[in-house]
Every structure is written in C-alpha cells, then in structure tokens.
Amino acid sequence: MDFSFLGDYKYFFINGTRITIMLAFFAVLFGIMIGIILAMLKISHNKILRAIASSYIEFIRGTPLLVQLFIIYYGLPYLGIQFPDFPLFGQNIGDFMAGVIAMSINSGAYVAEIFRAGIQAVDKGQMEAARSLGMPYLMAMKKIILPQAFKNILPALGNEFIVVIKESAIVSIIGIHDLMYNADTVRGNTYKPFAPLIVAALIYFVVTFTLSKFVGLLEKRMDTA
C-alpha cells in the first residue's frame, strides 16, 4: 500500500488530530459539568427535578448524536443565536462551537448516569455523619461525597473521553476540519480511497490507547494515595 502522500499531507493529519482532541476535551469538560448537575437533580428528593433530569437523560440517550448535531447546527441560527465569525484552532468558531455544544449535551447525559452511580456507591453513612456535624447538604456533597465518587468513577470517565474522541468523527459532516474530515480531503486530493483511512485509524488508535494508559496510571496513583 502506498503511503507516499504523507510527505505532502502530514499536516492535514496533524491539524485534524489537534481539532479532534480539542473538540473532545471541551465536550467532556462541559459534559462533566452538565452531568454533575443532572446527577444531583436525579438523586434529589424533589420529584419535579428528578423528572426533568430523567427526561433529559432518556431523550438524549434515546436519540442519535447525528440528529442532535443537526438540531444544534441548524437550530441555533434559526433561533437567532450566532457565533462570531473568526478562526479558532484553525477552524471557524461557529462550526467548532456547534460541535462542542452538541457533543457536550450528548456526553452530559451519559456522564450523569456515571456520576449518579458513583454517588450512590458511597456509603450513606458518610452523608449522615457530615449532616450530623452540621454540614449543609451541598457542602457535604462537595467536600465528602463527590471526591469519593470521582475516585470510583475515574475509569468510567476515562472510557467516556475515549468514546467522545471516536464519536467526534461525526462532526466532519458539518464541515469541522477534524481528523476524519481531513482524511476525506486527502482521499479526494490523492485519489487514494483506502490508505488515508488507515492513517486516520492508526492515529485514533494511538490517541485512545495513550489516553487509556494514562487513565490507568492515574487510577493506580489514586488507589495508593
């Protein structure tokens, strides 16, 4: 198989990889924020808040990411929400933000269930002890419960990051110059339909494999701490 095109198009793959990693990073970051809020709502004693969180999670998990991406990409301009037209990381800010928002909303639903399971796995006596000492509920959750829950769910969060990196390939359909988009560009320019995809697959593997090893090391360090 001929990979001679890499000499001319290596920066396509490098820049695409950078966009993919940045997109996944922000999606998981905002997804964690959304997930924590949803998890807190779902375990609350208020039936309305629980219903709102459950409805959000079930709807997002029950609809394809592609549909959600199109709703955000075409829906925000329809509602009059416009992003400034300037490049960010070599990519139009509007397209990039649409991808981040869609993937954050999607990731948040899955992270919410991860956090909910992690919080409920912490011994209930921890909260009872904190409350008996006069600690407010939110402070007890922040200082006592969430740190222990985070330690329990670290592997699951690492897996979610890996999943987001792989799923981010779908954003190429709205013109974001991620790794998959640039690989398709190389395919069109070189008339090589297969080899650029092999290169993209290897890059995805290296990134996700490295991340999984990093999460594993972090998990071991937390176990020994």
The answer to whether residue 26 sits within a structural domain is yes
Closest CA relative to residue 35, chosen from 105, 130, 123: 105
What are the φ/ψ torsions at residue 159 (nearest 5 degrees)? -65, -35
pLDDT tens, position by position, 194-213: 999 999 999 999 999 998 88
pLDDT tens, position by position, 28-86: 999 999 998 999 899 888 899 999 999 999 999 999 999 999 999 888 777 776 665 65
Number of structural domains the chain divides into: 1
pTM of the complete model = 0.85
Domain carrying residue 39: 6-224
- CATH assignment at residue 75: 1.10.3720.10
Report pLDDT for 54. Answer: 93
The answer to whether residue 1 sits within a structural domain is no
Element (H, E) at 92: strand 91-92
Report pLDDT for 146. Answer: 81
**Of 135 and 173, more confident:** 173
The answer to whether residue 217 sits within a structural domain is yes
The answer to whether residue 180 sits within a structural domain is yes
The answer to whether residue 51 sits within a structural domain is yes
Q: Mean pLDDT of all residues in the chain?
A: 86
Spatial distance between the Cα atoms of 164 and 156, rounded to a whole number of angstroms = 12
176-208 CB burial, b ≥16 within 10 A, e <16: bbbbbbbbbbbbeeeebeebbeebbeebbeebb
Report pLDDT for 89. Answer: 57
Spatial distance between the Cα atoms of 142 and 73, rounded to a whole number of angstroms = 35
pLDDT tens, position by position, 120-134: 888 878 778 877 877
The answer to whether residue 214 sits within a structural domain is yes
Residue type, 84: P
Whose tokens are 């329809």? That residue is: 78
pLDDT tens, position by position, 165-174: 999 999 988 8
Spatial distance between the Cα atoms of 130 and 165, rounded to a whole number of angstroms = 38
User: Measured between alpha carbons, how far is residue 5 from residues 9, 116, 180, 189, 215 in Å?
Assistant: 6, 48, 16, 10, 34
